[in-house]
C-alpha cells in the first residue's frame, strides 16, 4: 500500500505539515472536517480574545508531532512503515469523539450516558463513514479506534499507545504550545523537539532520556501554569459552567444526549448547539448572559496542596457537591441553583484526568557512557517534579454577581475561612 | 469625564492591551461580544487550519493600534484627550456592522439592500443598545458612527478619519500581522510600529515620513502577497463563493435580508446562520459539500495587470458577469448555475475596496534638515510602489469538479486562451 | 532640564527603544561603546552558536525595561521626572565595570584585588569621562554610581535600588529573555511585562502583586533552567574555566590587574585581551585549545539539594578547593594543574551571587477587594518557589581528555561515589 | 563511509541542527572555529545593537539549509548520499576564506592581491589543516573547495553549485532570516521552507516552481529592503568605510596582506586585527573615533534607478572615484582624504556582487496538470520582479562632521543638485 506525499498544510505553530493521499482522504471526511466547528478552548475567549483555535487545527498538529516521534531513530527501528502510518492516522483522529464545546459536553456525556469523549471516538471510528474510509486505505478501524484513545495494547509495543496517550504524549505537546500561540499567555513556549528527540523505549514503554530533564521540567511547569492561567482561569471556567448548565437545562427538550447514530451525534457542534441553546427557553437566559459577558462570579476559592479525604470526596462525588451546594444556598438564603461548586475533577474541566490531579510518574532513564539506559524515578531525580506531584486542587464556589457577598460569607462559614495565602488570585 | 485604566486584555499579537472602565462597558456590550462569533477570514480555514481568529480579537487590536497612533507626538499635539478617546472607541467599533461570514454577507447586503457593512456599522451605533452605552460614557453616537467608518470630516482634522480608514490605517496594520500570526502564511511580518511612529500630519491629512519608506514598501508588498495567498486564494474563495451562493438561495426562505431592527440583524452570526443554512433545503446541499470539503474547482484563471475597459466592465457589473456565465455554460453544455465568474471587485471579496484595485496614492513627505516636511508623490519616490499601483486583477471561472474540463474549454474559447504566463498558480 | 526625545534604537527583543538627547550622549561615550566588545555570555558560543550578543545590547535593553518600570503607575507616582531619568541612566550604566569576558575576569578581580565588577562600575562612573558626561547632563556621578549597583539607599525610596538590583530586577528580566532569543535555548520566554505591570511599592520596597504569581513562578523556573542549560552548561563552563586559567597564568606578564586608571582598565575588552592571551607564551596553549575546541572534560559531577556544611565550605573557600584538587591529583597520579574543581559560587560563574545559591525571598502581596495590599511570604504561597529555595549546588571536577578516567576514579574515591540520581546529564 | 548522527547544535533561527561525526570533525577545526571571531555584519552594530552574530553561526545555518535542500525529493533523486554529504560540507565551509570584518577586508584583498574571499576559501580548503581533515573523512578537498564557491561544474549537475551559490541559494536564504532575527529589522521574515520545497531541477539547473511565486517575490523584496536598511545603511557603511580606511593606512606597517600561508591568513580575525589597528599609529585615530561613535557623515546621496554610463564608470572604477574625490575636495577646500565616495559596487560592500546590481534572472517554471515543467522568464511573470531588476544604485559622499556642509555643497556642484525625491533617507 503506497503512502505517497500528496501535499502540505501550513500550520501556524509547526510550519509545513506534509500529508499523504490517504491522510487527505481522512482529513476531508465529515467527522474530521466537523472539528473546524469545535473550538479547542470553549470559554477561554472571554479571557483571551485570541483563543479561537479549533480541534481541527490541533488534530493536524498532533498528527504532525506523531510523525516526528516515529522518525526518532529510537522509535523508528521498533515499528514498520504500516505502524508508523497508523500512529499518524490515530493521532489525527484522537479527538473526533468530542462533543460541542469539547470538554463541556463531556460533563453531560458522563452524567447521562456514563461515557467519555474517548468512548465516542472509538464508537465513531468503528461506526461512521470513517470506518469505510479507514478500510479503504488499508487500516483496521477497530485497531485505529483503540490506538486513538491509547488502548491498542499491541504486544511488546505499549509505546504505540503511549505516543498518543501518556504523560508526555503528542496531544499534550501540541496543545501546550498551540494554546500559548493563540492565547498569548506566555507559559507554554517549551522545547518540544528536544523532548521528542529524547524519547526512547525501555522494554516496551516510552521513556524520556534525562539529558532532556530541563525540557521535561519546563513542560511540567508549562502544563501547571497553563492550567492555572488558561484552563482553570476563573472567568473561563465561569463560561464553561454556564454552557454546561445551559446544556443540562435544555437537554430534555433538545435531546442532546438522545442521539443513536454517529451521524446524530456528529450533527452537534459548537455552531448548531449554540444556536439551539439560544432558541430553547430553558437555556436562552444563560446564552443571553454569555452574549453580554454577564458571567458567574467566584465567591469563594481555596487551594489545596495536600491530599485530604474530605476534599477528595467533595472533589470526586457529585452527590457530595450537591449537598454542599444546598447547604451553602440555605445559609446564604439564595436559590440553590445559584450556587455552583467547581473543582478540577469535574468532567467538564479540560484535561481533568490529567497529570495534575493524580500521582504521576513519567518513565525516565539516564544513559551510561557505554550506552546502557538505567531507569530512574523522576520524583527522585527532579526536585521540581517531586513538589509538583499531586499538585493542585482548587475548590471554588460560583454564584451570580448579585449574590456574591452572601454566598461568599456562607461558603466561608461552611467550608472554613480561607487563610490569606489561599485567597490569591491565580 | 474620567478615563481610568480598568484592566488589560492579553492579545497574541500586540501583548497587553490596557483598557479603561468606559471601554470595558463598550467591549462587554452585545454588538461587540457578538464579534466573537464572526470569524475574520471565513473560508480561509479550508486552506489554513489556523485561520480561526475572530472580528472581536481584531477589533481589540485595532483599538490598541489606534491608541498607539494617538500617542505619536505628531498626532497627540493636534488632538485633545476626548478626541483620542473617540478614536480608540471608533476603532473598536469599526466592524460591528459586519454580517455572518463578514464580507460574504456583504454580497447579499449589496445586492438586496444596496448597503455595505460600513452602512450597517453606522446604523447599529446610532440605533442599538450601543447608542445608549456611548451616550452614557459621554460620546455622541452619531459622531462615533461616522468616525468608525472614516467619514466624520471634522474640520481641520481629516486625519482622524484617516487613522481609522485610509491606505495606511490601523485596520489594515492590524489585520496584516494578525492574519499572518494565525494562518502561518509568512507574508505579513511588517514593522507596524515603524509606520505608526512615522505618521505625521500634513495640513490636516495623515502622511508617512519617507524615513520609513522600507517599512511602507514592505507593508504594500505584504498586502499584495496576503491578497494572493490568503484572501483571494483559490480554495478559500471557493468556500466563500459557496457560502454566498447558499445564502442567496436560502434568502427568500430564511429572510436573511429582511431584518428591520439592529437586534434582528445582530441575531445573525456565523453560528446561527450556518445552522440555519444547514437546515434549509435550498442551501443544505452546499453546506453538506462544505462539511466534506467538496469544493468548487477553478476551471479558468487569468491575471490582468493593465487597465482594460472590457475587463473593468466584467469586473464591476453583475449583469455582464451573468451574461458571460450564461455564454460559458451554454458552450460547455452545463447548467448555468454551475458556472461562476469570480473577480476581486465582487463585494464578497475581503478587502475588495482596497488599495489593490484602484489607483492609490499614500501621502508621503521627507523632512529637510531644518525640519520642514516636503510632500512627495509616492509613485515618484518608490519604484516598488509605482509598479504596484493598479495591480492586480484576477479573473476566475469556478465550477463543479465533474464539469471542470468542459467549462475550462468553454471559458478558454470565450475568454481567450490563457497565455502560459497567466496560468501560474498563485 | 529638558529630556527630549532624540531618536530610537531597534532592539531584536524589545523593538524600538526611544532615547533622549542626554541618553545618546552617554550611549556614545567610550565606556558604553566599549560594551560592544564584551560578549554577554563568554564561553557559551561553544555550546550555542548564536550566543554572540554583547553587554551593549543588554545594557540598552535594561535601560528600556527600567523606563517601562518607571511608567508603571504604582511607581511613577512615587518618583519625579528626574528620578525616572536617573533610573534609566543607571540601568544603562550598570555593566560598564565588567572586564574582558565579563564574569570570567571577575575571578581575577576578586582574587587579586578583592573587587567585584560592581566596584569597578562605581569607580568608572566617578573617575572616567563618564563623570563629566553625567555632570554635563545634570546628574551626580556619585549617585548614579551607587544607583547603578543598587546601593543608593535614597531615604524612603529603597525601591529605586531594587529596580536595578534585586531578585526581580530589570537586569534579570532582560537577560532571561535576551539569552533565550540569541541562544535558542527555549527556557526564558516569560511574561516580563506582566511582572513589570505587577510591581508595586510596599512601604518603600518593590513588591510583586500575587495576581502575577504564574508569571513570577515562570520567571523563577526560567532562571533555574537557564542556569542549568546555559550559564552552568558543562561545555560552556569548561570554556570559561580555560579563559580564567589563561588569564591567571598570563597575569604576571600581561599585568591584567595592574591597571591604575579607568582608561587602563577600559582598554581591556574581549578583543584586546584575547589577542594578548594568544601571543603570551604562558596562556597561548590554552587559547590554541579553545581555537580548536579542545575543551576540558568533566570527570565528576554531583548535585546537592540540601544544605551541608562540608559542601558549603568546599563551595565557598578557595583554600579548601585547592586542597581537594591536590588530593584528587595525587590519587589520580596526574599533575595538580590538571584537576579543577568547579562550583557555582566561584566568582567567574555568571550570576553566581544570584538567587540560586542563597535563601531568597521576593516580597509579594495580594490585594483585597478594598485595594489594601497584604504582604505575604512567597515561600508560603508558592509551592514551586518553596522547593526551589536554596536550590541548586553542583560540584564538578574538570580535567583534560586524556586524564578523564583516572581523575574520575580518584574523585569518586575522595568525594564519594555518585548515586545514580546525581549522574544525570544536564 | 558511514555518515552517523553524532549530536546536535541548537540554532536560534532553525532550531536543532543534527550533525554527523564527520561534520563535527570539520566544525571543530581551527579554520571553522575561527569564524566565531568574524562577525557577520561588521559595522552594523553601530545601527542595530543586536547585530552581533558571527560567520560561525551563519555557516552552521547554511549547512542545515543545504541539508534540507538535499532532502527535497526533486533533488534527492538526482544525487547520491556522498554528493548530499559534499553539499552540506561545502555549505559549512563556504565562508572560511573571509578576512577580518568580512567584506571590509575583501576591499584590501581586491586592491592589493586581486583576490576575493572565495579565492581564499578555495586556497584554505586545499592548503590548510582542512585539506587533511577532508581527506580523512573521505572527501576530495579540491572538489569541496570548488563546490564551496559554486564552481565545481560537475557534469549534468550544475544544480549542485547553484544550491551553494546562485540567486536563490542557501547562503542568502540563511542570512536574510538570520540578519532579521538578530538585528530586529523586520524585513527578512520570509517563507524559506516554501522556497526550498519549490526547488526543482530543469535540465541540470536549479529552478523555482511558480507555485511559490509569492514566497519568491517576498524573498526578493526582503533582500532589497535589507540592503537599504541593514547592509547599505548610512551609519553602518560609515563604520565599514572607517574600518577599510584604517586597514589601508596600517597595511604597510602591519602587513595585513603579506601573509604567505593559510595559517598566517587565518591568524587574522576581528579580534586580533582590531587590536593591532588600535595600537598602530596610522590607524589608531580612526579606531579611537569608532570607539566613541564619532562616525563619518554622509554629505551627499543620490539614488539611481536607470542604467547610466557615467554612473556605471564611477561605480566600477577606482581611478574615476579617486578623481571625483579630488575634485570635490578641491572645490570644498578640504583635505582630499576627507572625501570618500561610496557606491554599492565597492568590494567592501556586503553582498556587492549580488542580484541587486546586475540583471538577474532566476529560473522559474510552472507545472502543467500533467506534471510537465514549462520554463518561464521570471521578468515576464512577475511585475514585482520586473521592476526590481537592475535596481538600485546609490551614490554617497562621506566626510567628517566638521566638513559636512562644505563637502555637501561642493558635491552638489560637481555631481548635480539632487532632486528632492533622491534625498530621502533610506
> Which uninterrupted H or E stretch holds C396?
strand C393-399
Nearest-CA residue of chain D relative to C182? Answer: D12
Residues B54-91: tens digit of each pLDDT: 999 999 999 999 999 999 999 999 999 999 999 999 99
The model's pLDDT over B87-113, given as tens digits with 9 standing for 90+, comes to 999 999 999 999 999 999 999 999 999
DSSP string, D285-319: HHHHHHHTT---EEEEEEEE-S--HHHHHHHH-HH
Please return the burial class of D402, using the count of CB atoms within 10 Å of its CB with bins 0-12, 13-18 and 19+: exposed
Report D:278-317 residues touching C (Cβ under 8 A).
278, 291-293
A13 touches chain B (CB under 8 A): yes
**How large is the angle between the packed helices A234-254 and A270-279, nearest 10 degrees?**
70
Helices (H) and strands (E) in chain A, counts: 22, 9
Place of cell 433545503: B281
Chain D residues near residue A193 by CB distance under 8 angstroms: 15-16
Average pLDDT, chain C: 90
In chain B, residues with a C-beta closer than 8 Å to the C-beta of D224 are 384
Interaxial angle between packed helices D234-254 and D270-279, expressed in degrees from 0 to 180 and rounded to the nearest 10: 70
pLDDT at B383 over 90: no
Nearest-Cα distance to chain B for C79, in Å, is: 20
The sheet with strand A205-209 has its strands ordered as A199-202, A205-209, A364-367, A373-376
Q: Count the alpha carbons within 13 Å of C132 in the hemisphere toward its beta carbon.
A: 5
Q: Is A371 helix (H, G, I), strand (E, B) or coil?
A: coil
**Contacting residues of D for A15, CB less than 8 Å apart:** 193
d(CA D148, CA D155): 17
Q: Which three cell numbers stand for residue A302?
A: 481555596
Cell representation of residue A91: 493521532
Q: Where residue C420 falls among pLDDT bands split at 50, 70, 90?
A: very low
- Nearest residue in D to A7, CA atom: D197
Distance of alpha carbon A199 from alpha carbon A69, whole angstroms:
8
Q: Are B79 and B70 in contact (CB under 8 A)?
A: yes
- D193 interfaces chain A, CB cutoff of 8 Å: yes
The DSSP result for B53-66, as a single string, is: -BHHHHHHHHHHHH
Q: Distances in Å between the alpha carbon of B411 and those of A355, B238, C152?
A: 60, 17, 80
What is the H or E stretch that residue A7 is in?
A: strand A5-11
| Rounded-to-integer distance, Cα C138 and Cα C142, Å | 12
Residues in chain B: 426
Chain C nearest-CA residue for A422? C381
Q: What is the DSSP string of D233-294?
A: -HHHHHHHHHHHHHHHHHHHHH-TT---SHHHHHT--HHHHHHHHHHSHHHHHHHHHHHTT-
Helix (H) or strand (E) holding A20: strand A15-20
Q: Is A366 part of the contact surface with chain C (CB cutoff 8 Å)?
A: yes
**What is residue D54's DSSP assignment?**
B
DSSP label at B296?
-
Mutation pick from A176, A181, A183, A187 vs chain C, by most beta carbons of C within 10 Å, is A187
Region A337-345 average pLDDT:
89
- Is A259 an 8 Å CB contact of chain C? no
Residues of C within 8 A of D23 (CB-CB) are: none
Kindly tell me if the per-residue pLDDT of C254 is higher than 60. yes
Summarize pLDDT for A151-204 with one digit per residue, the tens: 999 999 999 999 999 989 999 999 999 999 999 998 888 999 999 999 999 999
Distance in angstroms (rounded) separating the CA atoms of residues C165 and C355: 12
**D16/A193 Cβ within 8 A:** yes
Distances (CA, A) of B130 to B109, B147, B161, B263, D164: 22, 15, 20, 11, 61
How far does the CA of residue D366 sit from the closest CA of chain B (Å)?
Answer: 6
Beta carbons of C194 and C311 less than 8 angstroms apart = no
The answer to whether residue C101 neighbours chain D at the CB level (below 8 Å) is: no
Flag if D366 and B189 touch (Cβ within 8 Å). no
Contacts across the A-B interface (CB distance below 8 Å): 112
User: For residue B384, what pLDDT is reported?
Assistant: 74
Sign of the Cα torsion B31, B32, B34, B37 reads positive
Give the B:C interface size as CB pairs under 8 Å: 12
pLDDT tens string C41-95: 999 999 999 999 999 999 999 999 999 999 999 999 999 999 999 999 999 999 9
| pLDDT > 90 in chain C, percent | 73
Confidence category of residue C187, pLDDT binned at 50, 70, 90: confident
Contact (CB<8Å) C8/B197: yes
Residue D377, pLDDT score: 81
Establish if C272 touches chain D: CB-CB under 8 angstroms. yes
**Pairs across B and D, CB distance < 8 A:** 98
Cβ–Cβ under 8 Å, residues C73 and C318: no
Q: Judge contact between C121 and C96, C-beta under 8 A.
A: yes
A5 to chain D: which residues are within 8 Å by CB? 73
Angstrom distance (rounded) from CA A1 to CA B204:
69
Task: Using an 8 Å CB-CB cutoff, list chain D residues near C60.
Answer: 49
Tell me how far apart the alpha carbons of residues B124 and B88 are, in angstroms, rounded to a whole number: 18
CA-nearest residue of chain B to D388?
B384
Select from A2, A58, A48, A54 the least CA-distant residue to A25: A2
Residues 38-77 of C with CB under 8 A from A: none
Query: Once rounded to an integer, what is the mean pLDDT over residues A300-328?
Result: 78
Interface membership of B14 toward C (CB under 8 Å): no
Question: What percent of chain C is predicted at pLDDT more than 70?
Answer: 90
pLDDT band at A305 (very low <50, low <70, confident <90, very high): low
**In this predicted model, what pLDDT tens digit does every residue of B102-148 receive, in sequence order?**
999 999 999 999 999 999 999 999 999 999 999 999 999 999 999 99
Residue D17 phi, psi dihedral angles, 5° rounding: -115, 110
Contacts of B15 in chain C (CB under 8 A): 193
Partner-chain contact A184 B52, CB within 8 Å: no
For an interface test with B, the pick among D179, D181, D189 (most B C-beta atoms closer than 10 Å) comes out as D189
What's the pLDDT tens digit per position in D217-253?
Answer: 899 889 888 888 999 999 999 999 999 999 999 999 9
Put simply, the answer to whether D366 touches B214 (Cβ < 8 Å) is no
**Above 90 in pLDDT, residue D336?**
yes
Q: What CA–CA distance (Å, rounded) separates B284 from D10?
A: 52
Q: What is the DSSP string of D374-396?
A: EEE-HHHH-HHHHHHTT--EEEE
B30, B20, B10, B18: which is closest to B263 by C-alpha?
A: B30
Average pLDDT across chain D, whole number: 90
d(CA A374, CA A371): 9
Is it the case that residue B358 has pLDDT exceeding 60?
A: no
Among A7, A14, A16, pick the best mutation site for testing chain D contact (most D Cβ within 10 A): A16
Burial A218-234 (b: 16+ CB within 10 A, else e): bbbbbbbbbbbbbbbbb
Test C56 with D48 for CB contact under 8 angstroms. no
Answer yes or no: are the C-beta atoms of C132 and C301 closer than 8 Å: no
pLDDT value of position C305: 64
Helix axes C309-316, C318-332, angle to 10 degrees: 100
- 3-class DSSP state for residue D341? strand
B40: nearest CA in chain A? A52
Tell the residue number behind the cell numbers 492561567, with chain if given: A229
Query: Over 70: is that where the pLDDT of D255 sits?
Result: yes
Q: What is the pLDDT of residue D309?
A: 60
Does the beta-carbon distance from A228 to C218 stay under 8 Å? Answer: no
Q: Which residue has the cell 586524556?
A: C402
Q: Residue A115: how many CA atoms within 13 Å on its side-chain side? A: 18
Secondary element (H or E) of residue D18: strand D15-20
Q: Which is it for the CA torsion D115, D119, D125, D127, positive or negative?
A: negative
Whether residue B426 lies within 8 A of chain C, CB to CB, comes out as no
Q: What is the ipTM of this complex?
A: 0.94
CB D394 within 8 A of CB D356: no
Distance CA D325, CA D319 (A): 10
The structure's pTM equals 0.93
A28 near D CB under 8 A: no
Q: C94: Cβ–Cβ under 8 A, 6 or more apart, which residues?
A: C59, C62, C121, C148, C149, C164, C165, C171
Task: Give the span between the Cα atoms of A348 and A342, in whole angstroms.
Answer: 10
- What is the average pLDDT across C17-40? 97
User: Between chains, do B28 and A292 touch, taking CB under 8 Å as contact?
Assistant: yes
Confidence of residue C370 (pLDDT cuts 50, 70, 90): confident
- Strand, helix or coil at B284? helix
Residue of C nearest to B15 (CA): C193
Q: In 3-state terms, what secondary structure has residue C152?
A: coil
- Give C33's contacts in chain D (Cβ within 8 Å): 291-293
User: Which position has the grid cell 435580508?
Assistant: B257
Q: Which helix (H) or strand (E) holds A6?
A: strand A5-11
Mean pLDDT for the stretch of residues D402-418 = 90
Whether the Cβ atoms of residue B178 and residue B11 lie closer than 8 Å to each other: no
Looking at the partner chain, which of D213, D374, D383 has a beta carbon nearest the beta carbon of B420? D374
Q: What is the DSSP string of D67-115?
A: HHHHHSHHHHTTS-HHHHHHHHHHHHHTTTT--TTTHHHHHHIIIII--
Contacts of B225 in chain D (CB under 8 A): 214, 217-218
pLDDT above 90 for D329: yes
Which one of B12, B56, B60 has the shortest CB-CB distance to A182? B12
Kindly state the average pLDDT of the residues A380-387.
74
User: Do the chains contact at B214 and D225, CB–CB below 8 Å?
Assistant: yes
User: Which positions in chain C touch B194 (Cβ < 8 Å)?
Assistant: 16
Of C90, C92, C113, C117, which Cα lies nearest the Cα of C103? C117
- Alpha-helix runs per DSSP H in B19-140: 21-27, 30-33, 55-71, 73-76, 81-93, 103-113, 117-127, 129-136
Amino acid at each position: 500500500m503506497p503512502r505517497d506525499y500528496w501535499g502540505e498544510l501550513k500550520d501556524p505553530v509547526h510550519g509545513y505539515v506534509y500529508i499523504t493521499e490517504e491522510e487527505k482522504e481522512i482529513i476531508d471526511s465529515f467527522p474530521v472536517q466537523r472539528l473546524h466547528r469545535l473550538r479547542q478552548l470553549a470559554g477561554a475567549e472571554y479571557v483571551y480574545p485570541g483563543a479561537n483555535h479549533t480541534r481541527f487545527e490541533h488534530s493536524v498538529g498532533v498528527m504532525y508531532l506523531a510523525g516526528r516521534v516515529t522518525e526518532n531513530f529510537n522509535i523508528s527501528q521498533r515499528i514498520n512503515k504500516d505502524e508508523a502510518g497508523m500512529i499518524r492516522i490515530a493521532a489525527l483522529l484522537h479527538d473526533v469523539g468530542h462533543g460541542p464545546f469539547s470538554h463541556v459536553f463531556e460533563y453531560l456525556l458522563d452524567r447521562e450516558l456514563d461515557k467519555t469523549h474517548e468512548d465516542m471516538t472509538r464508537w465513531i471510528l468503528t461506526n461512521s463513514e470513517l470506518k469505510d474510509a479507514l478500510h479503504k486505505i488499508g487500516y483496521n478501524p477497530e485497531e485505529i479506534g483503540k490506538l486513538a484513545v491509547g488502548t491498542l495494547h499491541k504486544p511488546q509495543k505499549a509505546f504505540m499507545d503511549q505516543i498518543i496517550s501518556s504523560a508526555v504524549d503528542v496531544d499534550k505537546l501540541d496543545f501546550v504550545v498551540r494554546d500559548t500561540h493563540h492565547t498569548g499567555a506566555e507559559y507554554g513556549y517549551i522545547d518540544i523537539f528536544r523532548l521528542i528527540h529524547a524519547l526512547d523505549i525501555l522494554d516496551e514503554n516510552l521513556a524520556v532520556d534525562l539529558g532532556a530533564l530541563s525540557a521535561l521540567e519546563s513542560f511540567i511547569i508549562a502544563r501547571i501554569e497553563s492550567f492555572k492561567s488558561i484552563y482553570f482561569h476563573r472567568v473561563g471556567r465561569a463560561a464553561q459552567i454556564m454552557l454546561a448548565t445551559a446544556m443540562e437545562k435544555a437537554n430534555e427538550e433538545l435531546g442532546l444526549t438522545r442521539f443513536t447514530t454517529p451521524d446524530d451525534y456528529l450533527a452537534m457542534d459548537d455552531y448548531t448547539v449554540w444556536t439551539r441553546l439560544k432558541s430553547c427557553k430553558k437555556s436562552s437566559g444563560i446564552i443571553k448572559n454569555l452574549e453580554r459577558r454577564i458571567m458567574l462570579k467566584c465567591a469563594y476559592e481555596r487551594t489545596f496542596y495536600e491530599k485530604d479525604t474530605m476534599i477528595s470526596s467533595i472533589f470526586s462525588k457529585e452527590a457530595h457537591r450537591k449537598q454542599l451546594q444546598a447547604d451553602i444556598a440555605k445559609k446564604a438564603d439564595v436559590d440553590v441553583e445559584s450556587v455552583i461548586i467547581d473543582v478540577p475533577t469535574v468532567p467538564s474541566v479540560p484535561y481533568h484526568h490529567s497529570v495534575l490531579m493524580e500521582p504521576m510518574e513519567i518513565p525516565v532513564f539516564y544513559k551510561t557512557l557505554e550506552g546502557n539506559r538505567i531507569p530512574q524515578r523522576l520524583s527522585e531525580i527532579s526536585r521540581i517534579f517531586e513538589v509538583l506531584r499531586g499538585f493542585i486542587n482548587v475548590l471554588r464556589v460560583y454564584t451570580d454577581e448579585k449574590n456574591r457577598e452572601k454566598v461568599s460569607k456562607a461558603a466561608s462559614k461552611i467550608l472554613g475561612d480561607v487563610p490569606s495565602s489561599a485567597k490569591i488570585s491565580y
